[in-house]
């Protein structure tokens, strides 16, 4: 296509677009305006919802800082449920392996690499709920059916670190444990995992500061999305609403001009 034909095609398209209000029936034209206004209101509502979420996340971040500065929780306090939200608190315990097996939480990303978070159940005291200990992030292999092999911890250890409870996935909360060891999990659903193990588990996971013999990284992301990201999304929604408002205003003016000109 030569430049002149391309220019003619563009002008023709623009003419068709600007003539829409004149060619459409009156009621249908105003229906388009009504839809535009409704979309505008929806976008504005989404923007304010993101701002509200940003305020919630900012409050959560401040609460996390306060918990990390507080004295470490006692293990019996943790398992009693006296602290309804343990994420961010520190914990110091002496524990030994309850199982000589490793769990692998699927679909984890760290520094751009896809892999698993590895866990092992630890016994603090006989008769008490087990504590799920994070061993760290391990990169996935090239094949889905080949799971990474980790040597489980052995012997009683002094453990110190911070607690967290993963937020539930709104799309799927089921454990979806696979057979065999290491056992691959799709979600860290602690109640379902306790049922699978036929033994109670503490209501939070311990991310240790240091583990003997293991140098795996420990990603810390107790809040999946920061307040800054929510504010960024809010600005995107508001920008789209502003653009739609300009389009709606132009459409109204165009309809009125076409009606008066006809």
Closest CA to 136 of 218, 220, 221: 218
Domain match, 178 and 233 both: no
Statement to judge: residues 182 and 237 lie in one domain? no
Higher pLDDT: 69 or 125? It is: 125
Please indicate, yes or no, if residue 213 is contained in any of the structural domains: no
Closest CA to 83 of 67, 100, 96: 67
**Could you tell me the residue range of the domain that residue 253 belongs to?**
3-55+227-261
Residue 80 lies in a domain: no
* Cα gap 98→125, rounded to integer Å: 10
Residue 72: inside a domain, yes or no?
no
Of the candidates 133, 100, 157, which has an alpha carbon nearest to the alpha carbon of residue 218?
Answer: 133
- Check whether residue 110 and residue 22 sit in a common domain: no
In a domain? residue 68: no
Residues 202 and 231 in one domain: no
Distance CA 148, CA 139 (A): 8
Summarize pLDDT for 194-238 with one digit per residue, the tens. Answer: 999 999 999 999 999 989 888 899 998 776 666 677 788 888 888
Q: Exposed/middle/buried for 66, CB within 10 Å: 0-12, 13-18, 19+?
A: exposed
Which parts of 19-157 fold into alpha helices (H)? 20-23, 26-69, 75-80
Asked if residue 217 belongs to a domain, the reply is no
User: Is there a domain that residue 242 lies in?
Assistant: yes
Q: What is the pLDDT of residues 55-113, one digit of tens each?
A: 787 787 787 888 888 889 999 999 998 888 899 999 999 999 999 999 999 999 999 99
* CB distance 218 to 137 below 8 Å: yes
User: Would residue 76 count as lying in a domain?
Assistant: no
Q: Which residues contact 5 (CB under 8 A, 6 or more apart)?
A: none
Q: Per the structure, how many domains does the chain have?
A: 2
Q: How is residue 104 annotated by DSSP?
A: E
155 and 197 fall within a common domain: yes
**Same structural domain, 203 and 98:** yes
């Amino acid at each position: 296509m030569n430049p002149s034909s391309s220019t003619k095609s563009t002008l023709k398209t623009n003419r068709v677009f600007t003539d829409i209000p004149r060619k459409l029936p009156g009621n249908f034209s105003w229906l388009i305006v009504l839809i535009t206004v409704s979309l505008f209101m929806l976008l504005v509502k989404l923007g304010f919802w993101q701002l509200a979420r940003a305020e919630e996340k900012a409050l959560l971040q401040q609460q996390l800082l306060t918990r990390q500065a507080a004295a470490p929780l006692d293990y019996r306090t943790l398992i009693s449920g006296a602290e309804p939200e343990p994420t961010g608190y520190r914990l110091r315990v002496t524990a030994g392996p309850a199982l000589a097996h490793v769990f692998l939480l699927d679909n984890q990303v760290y520094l751009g690499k896809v892999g698993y978070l590895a866990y092992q159940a630890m016994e603090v005291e006989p008769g008490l709920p087990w504590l799920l200990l994070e061993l760290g992030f391990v990169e996935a292999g090239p094949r889905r059916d080949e799971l990474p092999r980790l040597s489980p911890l052995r012997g009683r250890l002094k453990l110190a670190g911070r607690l967290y409870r993963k937020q539930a996935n709104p799309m799927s909360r089921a454990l979806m444990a696979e057979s065999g060891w290491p056992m691959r999990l799709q979600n860290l659903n602690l109640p379902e995992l306790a049922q699978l193990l036929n033994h109670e588990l503490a209501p939070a996971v311990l991310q240790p500061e240091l583990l003997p013999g293991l140098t795996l990284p420990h990603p810390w992301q107790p809040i999946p999305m920061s307040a800054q990201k929510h504010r960024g999304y809010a600005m995107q929604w508001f920008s789209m609403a502003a653009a739609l408002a300009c389009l709606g205003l132009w459409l109204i003016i165009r309809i009125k001009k076409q009606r008066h000109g006809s």
